[in-house]
Chain A
Amino acid sequence: MLVAVYTLAAFSWTMPAVLFPPKAAIDGIVTRPFLLLGLWQAWDMFSPDPRTDDICVEMRYTDSDGSVDRRMLTDMVAMGYFERWQKDRWRKYFNDHLRLDVEHQLWQPFAEYAVRRLRMEGHDPVSIELVRWWRPSQPAVRPELRADVRLTPWNSYPFHRWGVPREWGR
């Protein structure tokens, strides 16, 4: 009985609502236990369609001496094989969440975290800028359109700026 109930619950949880009409009713019952016990799940990677843009997130900062430096947070192609593997969660956090306007509540906390980290490294940042980079992927499929060799120009947009108050965090 338990096996059948769990199977039905997990099946309902993972199905698109349009294809499984009882989903709303079943999910209504199982949401609390699934969330409580960590059994929630989603298996919809690259669906219904994969992303069609190459994406990166960059953090720029201006030091108190006027110098500007930049750090690409999720330029996976530029990373070594091990680093990009270890930093897969960076891609999840920065590309799939922090970059988005609907998740703007993440921007200022990250800027503040960046200032704390930079100060630990001996810098004295007076401003932080978060920049999203993107370029469209082509609808065609050809070897020369691979991200590491494609010549399509990148677009960028600074989506968050913070002038760090002199006394902040000291």
Chain B
Amino acid sequence: MKSPWDMIAGAAVAFDRWVKDPVDPRPLAWFRCWFGLLSLVNLWLLWPDMSMWLSNDGVLPPNVHRDMVSGTRLSVFMLTGYSDMAIGLIRGLSLVGGLGLVLGVFPRCAAACVWLAAVSYAWRNMDILHSGDNLIRIGAFFLIFARSDGALSLSRGVSRWLFPRAAPDPVTPYEPVPAWPQRILQLQLCIIYLAAGIWKTMGPTWRNGTAVGLVLQLGEFQRFPIPDFFLTPLMSQVFTYGTLAFELGFPVLIWIPRLRLPVLLAGLAFHAGLDWVMNVQLFQWQITAYYLLWLKPRRS
């Protein structure tokens, strides 16, 4: 019979191994590609309104912005000051960084570009941010430290083509990479669902089953048409309690290997449904990038 102390020590050792043992590079590479593509889509959506949100002649002139920000935050505005030149820099960094991530060309530099662009527009106008921006900043930050070009990398492909190895190793064609950036992002995904679920349990409408019905009736979030029977008290309860169950269940069930794939598929269905009924731009897409980190590739 193991003592509680032994069990805690065993869990600590298992966690240490989970974090430190090198991993297959493909999940990080899949994440990098999909994340980079979505960063480019984010740039495309933000581009037309950038001067309105971020310029000195926009909705938030420097004298007003100065009174609203607190604390030091890294951004391109540290270099440019309150200058509209920063908008060009943010666009350039996002574009170069996004392309670099998609193609796997200097992915650490590319991630740094995407991260710097994201923290910069976040600093200049915090009132336009949504949850998807959190995912971009956090994902790009940890990609700076990740070796994400172990697969699906143009530069790696070119280098292999130019300098072919004498005898490619048929057993391990993908060289393992340090796991910790991937582990942090996996844990981040669990924190997202756990926090979202816990906050919701504090609200009366989430506890009485009307919350989702009320959201579906709000005009500002309406997207594509939904069948009338979705807007009934019964379905509202199903969706409300289903949301709570999923968000509170994900951070627990995802650790059980046999349940991992069903949980991820349930999550995809959950976010696809939300994306259909609710207009919240890119969040539902961006979170799917974090799902890729949980996949276990087949050995080739």
Contacts and interface: CB of A to CB of B under 8 A. Distances in A.
Please indicate whether A and B come from the same complex rather than being unrelated chains: yes
B74 A32 contact: no
Interface stretch (A44-52, A60-68, A160-168): A44-52
Most buried by A among B57, B59, B188: B59
B215 A46 contact: yes
Contacts of A37: 74, 119, 141
B153 interface: no
B218 A36 contact: no
Contacts of A10: 187-188, 191
A88 B281 contact: yes
Interface in A25-59: 31-32, 35-52, 54-56
A54 B130 contact: no
B217 interface: yes
Interface residues of A, number: 73
A14 B220 contact: no
B214 A52 contact: yes
A94 B188 CA distance: 30
Given A81-B224, A143-B231, A109 B205 contact: no
B242 to A, nearest CB: 14
B74 A36 contact: yes
B292 to A, nearest CB: 19
A123 interface: no
B188 A47 contact: no
A42 B72 CA distance: 19
A70 interface: no
Nearest to A54: B219
A150 interface: yes
B128 A49 contact: no
B122 A38 contact: yes
B96 interface: no
Interface stretch (B29-37, B157-165, B196-204, B257-265): B196-204
Contacts of B196: 43-45, 47
B85 interface: no
